[in-house]
Structure 1
């Protein structure tokens, strides 16, 4: 594990080997651990929010950089990690483990489009996953209803695509009552991938990248 200061946020970044080792341990725990994927948008939002920053630095058990251009924009030299990130090796390894051990998973999104994209993403990497339940809810503030639905199927892993601070607030509250072992918080920008597993970055992602690079320059 290495720690980086990006936009004034202390980021604990794990290699794929380290992150998978930790996740395997978490699968034996009785309360949920959180794996949180960080995009440029998440970091920009957290740079302006103490509560958001606290979640990243203290509440998330594992933080994973979602796209390697974050390193480049923040002037961090990590070519080995960049290759792991670009090939989505952690997510591939986790899904392979869950499929091999037939671990139940649950999918949670805020829109039908994100649910469809999430299913396609997971299916691209592993076709034999045990999806025990799904939930699409625009009103993620209804934490109790969503948590109760998750608890009816007792999944090992919840894959959640929840946007912004609202999603962070939900997980921060719901994990105290959730009967799952791991919550993997993905971001909408991660759902479209190429055949090699790398994330497709469209116009909005490139625009966000320019803003991120400009803001990151202020912290050097």
Structure 2
């Protein structure tokens, strides 16, 4: 376990063994625990938005969705970089869900993405049981409506994939009212499976990576001057 300060956001990097141990404890706790994958665009946003920073830091566990986050934090263990780049935690987490016959509820902001998410998760792990799904978009009126639909089914695990900012707000706002063990938020920026990314998406990803490194270098430089 290592603490990281990235653009003023406090994160904790857990080894695979530590993160799986935490998940096991979450599943026995009796109250909802939130786990969020964090990516470079999310950290750029949170570095300029105090509310977004607070939401990320309020999660019960954060996971690096990109190896670049570890690199700027000077965590250069080859095994950790491999685990992040190959989504080893996600694969192990889904394997445990399938093995224990636990049900999964999906949340997304579009019908197209929720179908893609369902397919990608099933490709990652056979035997995943999707017990329900829900679209959260501009027509979704209240947190209570979403919560009631989830609690009617009472899944073990919620897995969501929504735009940054929106996802973290929903996880924080709905957490106290949901009857489930774990809510895992997957970032829209993360590549799941072997599907090919569009040239536009690759270009946007490169832009954000350059911006991220530039912001981190500037932030670290300013902190050094102020010491």
Q: Deviations over 1:68-126 (max 9, x none)?
A: 02223455433321111011110000000000000011000001222122112211210
**Partner of 1:88 in structure 2?**
87
**Partner of 1:204 in structure 2?**
204
Task: Using structure 1 for the length normalisation, give the TM-score.
Answer: 0.91
Displacement, 1:166?
2.3
SS in 2 for 1:127: coil
CA contact (8 A) 2:56 2:168 kept: no
CA contact (8 A) 2:164 2:188 kept: no
CA contact (8 A) 1:74 1:213 kept: no
Q: Deviations over 1:149-181 (max 9, x none)?
A: 110111111001122222222111111100111
Q: How does 1:72-87 map to 2 (within 5 A)?
A: 72-87=71-86
Q: How many residues align?
A: 214
Gapped runs of 5+ residues in structure 1? 196-200
CA contact (8 A) 2:4 2:73 kept: no
**Partner of 1:110 in structure 2?**
109
Gapped runs of 5+ residues in structure 2? 196-200, 221-227
Displacement, 1:24?
1.1
1:21 aligns with 2:31: no
> What is the rounded CA distance, in whole Å, between the counterparts of 2:83 and 2:213 in structure 1?
21
1:147 aligns with 2:147: yes
Q: Deviations over 1:124-156 (max 9, x none)?
A: 210211111011121356211111111011111
Larger Rg: 2
Specify whether residues 141 and 168 from structure 1 end up closer, same or farther in structure 2 by C-alpha distance, changes over 3 A only: farther
CA contact (8 A) 1:114 1:188 kept: no
Structure 1 range deviating more: 7-16 or 139-148: 139-148
Greater helix share, structure number: 2
Task: Using structure 2 for the length normalisation, give the TM-score.
Answer: 0.88
> What is the rounded CA distance, in whole Å, between the counterparts of 2:30 and 2:212 in structure 1?
38
Q: How does 1:1-220 map to 2 (within 5 A)?
A: 1-57=1-57, 59-139=58-138, 142-194=142-194, 202-220=202-220
SS in 1 for 2:185: strand
**Partner of 1:198 in structure 2?**
none
Specify whether residues 187 and 141 from structure 1 end up closer, same or farther in structure 2 by C-alpha distance, changes over 3 A only: farther
Q: Deviations over 1:44-78 (max 9, x none)?
A: 11101112112222x11111000102223455433
**Could you say what the CA RMSD is over the residues aligned between the two structures, in angstroms?**
1.7
> What is the rounded CA distance, in whole Å, between the counterparts of 2:181 and 2:146 in structure 1?
16
> What is the rounded CA distance, in whole Å, between the counterparts of 1:100 and 1:75 in structure 2?
36
